[in-house]
Chains A and B, each alone.
Chain A
Amino acid sequence: MSAIADLDPRKDMSLIRERLSLQLTRGEDVAPLLADLAIRNPIALADLVVGPRAQHDTGLVRGALTVIEPLEQALAPNGLYRRLVALSKETQMEVLQTAARRHPTGSWLIELSRKVEGQDAGITHLSAVAGHPSFTAACWSHAKAGHLPGLIAVAHATGLPEPAAALAVHGHLDACAIALVRTLERTPESPVVSMIAAAWGPDPSPILMKAIGHLRSRKVALALQTQTRGYAQYTSLLKSVIQAMVHE
């Protein structure tokens, strides 16, 4: 039985708020209270958890994530998750992860990612949607927003070619070159060069030239050489670079 089982959400909101506050002060789990309220009155739940008088408390946000479905029925996800992020710094990442998992195509995730992850914006969202059909669109959106370190990190973590292609399309050629190399470090056979050419244009030489400076191993250089067959001048240059490389 929850701490508010004897109260009526339509009449006793002040008391409910007091009991919630007490539980939070004691460090108790508020999930049962919120679950009870979610069943009886989702609007009251939303007001309690993310309304103007909501407490800025880590426990409350964690509790809110346990009743996220009824909360989403009461409020638009964009505003809901933004509010949850504002309520507790400590739980921001958990909120972003939940948002990315539940709304992989949400365009508002781009801004939310920047707010939560700062310099590394995009990592959580893109990691959550890797393999999802919305991954490409999400990469494009993060590249447009200038989330370069995040895209490079995701290229390295997933070995997928889309982050590098997205960076090229949005004119971030240096970042694209780094992402290209990181992609091949993770997955040497990832079709990253062909994806860049398909997205940016049939002659990606400027990017390929920049990539040479970021090669850290012979193995990756060989992978790049395999992928750039057909660009004769470039592969010839790369061959010289590979011959001079020490690290396997």
Chain B
Amino acid sequence: MQVAAFLLGEPGRLPFVGHFRTSVQLGDVAISAAGRVAGSANVAVAFRAARTIETALQSLRQAHIEQLDRHNVLRTAWCTLADIPACDLGPEGGDDLSIIFTVKDTSGMGIAATGIGGVWSWTNENILPLVEGKHPLLGPPGRPAEPPGVLTLDSAVNTVVAVPHHRSNEAPQMSGLAKAVGMNP
């Protein structure tokens, strides 16, 4: 049961400053995260902050989660993010964090996010918007005080692509999308 989340890179020669991406499988629950932190810091600082988030989310493997389902895994993931010291998340201390989670279990799939301006499903054939307008999934960056709401999908999608909040009016283009999200062979 695989899910994958991607965040669109920035324009320019260094599109993925502060970008991170990770996936964890916990029993029947698959969770995937993609995002960006410390994106305006220098590459080394942003890189460290991004790896800090990946490492923290990978620690979900060791987390004690009672009743392993997508809701509890997602809640634990948000708590894990909240526990990271601000000083480890770059000059903004995580206030510039954009992250999208996709989480799937045997009973369904959900998406949750912060700092995201748009979300699309992505297949070999097309990309289709999953939310539009002023949806609560979309909002400004930063670690939320409380775990944000979850968008539950009627039918599961394997791959989701998001754009960061500051690029809300942009939609990903099918052509060259893999490269634009930093997905390499």
Contact B16 A230 (CB under 8 A): no
Q: Is A202 an interface residue (CB 8 A)?
A: yes
- In which size bucket is the chain B interface? 20 to 34
Q: B151-185: which residues lie under 8 A (CB-CB) from chain A?
A: 181-185
* Minimum CB distance partner of A203 in chain B: B21
A194 to B38 alpha-carbon distance, docked (Å): 13
Q: Does B3 belong to the interface (CB within 8 Å)? A: no
Compute how far the CA of A206 lies from the CA of B182 in the bound complex, rounded to whole angstroms: 13
- Say which residue of B19, B52, B183 sits within 8 Å of A197 (CB atoms): B19
Interface pair B184/A191, CB less than 8 Å apart: no
Given the known inter-chain contacts A202-B182, A230-B52, please indicate yes or no for A197 contacting B47, CB distance below 8 A: yes
Most buried by A among B34, B46, B58, B184: B184
Please report the C-alpha to C-alpha distance between residue A161 and residue B47 in the assembled complex, in whole angstroms. 14
B17 at the interface (CB under 8 A from A): yes
Q: Mark A193-235, 1 if CB is under 8 A from B, else 0.
A: 1110111111100100000000000000000000001111000
A199 vs B55: C-alpha distance when bound (angstroms): 21
Determine whether the beta carbon of A202 is less than 8 Å from that of B50.
yes
Task: Decide: A232 and B47 in contact? CB cutoff 8 A.
Answer: no
Q: Is the CB of B13 within 8 A of A201?
A: no
Q: Are B185 and A194 in contact (CB under 8 A)?
A: no
- State how many angstroms separate the Cβ of B143 from the closest Cβ of chain A: 19
Are B48 and A198 within 8 A (Cβ)?
no
Interface of A is mostly: helix
Establish whether residues B184 and A200, one from each chain, have CB atoms under 8 Å apart when the complex forms. yes
Instruction: Report if B15 contacts A (CB, 8 A).
Output: yes
The chain B residue sitting closest to A168, CB to CB, is B184
Report the minimal beta-carbon distance from A174 to chain B, rounded to whole angstroms.
13
- In Å, the complex CA distance between A103 and B146 comes to 55
CA distance A47 to B148 in the complex (A): 73
- Provided the pairs A206-B184, A206-B185 are in contact, do residues A191 and B20 lie with their beta carbons within 8 angstroms? no
**A198–B55 touching, CB < 8 Å:** no
Min Cβ gap A208→B in Å is: 12
For residue A169, CB closer than 8 A to chain B, the reply is yes
In the complex, what residue of chain B is closest to A193 when comparing beta carbons?
A: B47
Out of B14, B181, B183, name the residue touching A198 (CB < 8 Å): B14
**Are the CB atoms of B44 and A136 closer together than 8 Å?**
no
**Contact, CB under 8 Å: B182 / A191:** no
Write out, one digit per residue, whether chain A residues 148-181 have a CB within 8 A of any chain B CB (1) or not (0). Answer: 0000000000000100010001000000000000
Cα distance A201–B54 in the bound complex, in angstroms: 14
5 new A-B contacts, CB < 8 A, other than A191-B47, A198-B43, are: A197-B50, A198-B14, A198-B15, A198-B18, A201-B181
- Ordered by A's residue number, 5 sampled pairs between the chains whose C-beta atoms are within 8 Å are A193-B47, A199-B16, A201-B183, A202-B182, A230-B48
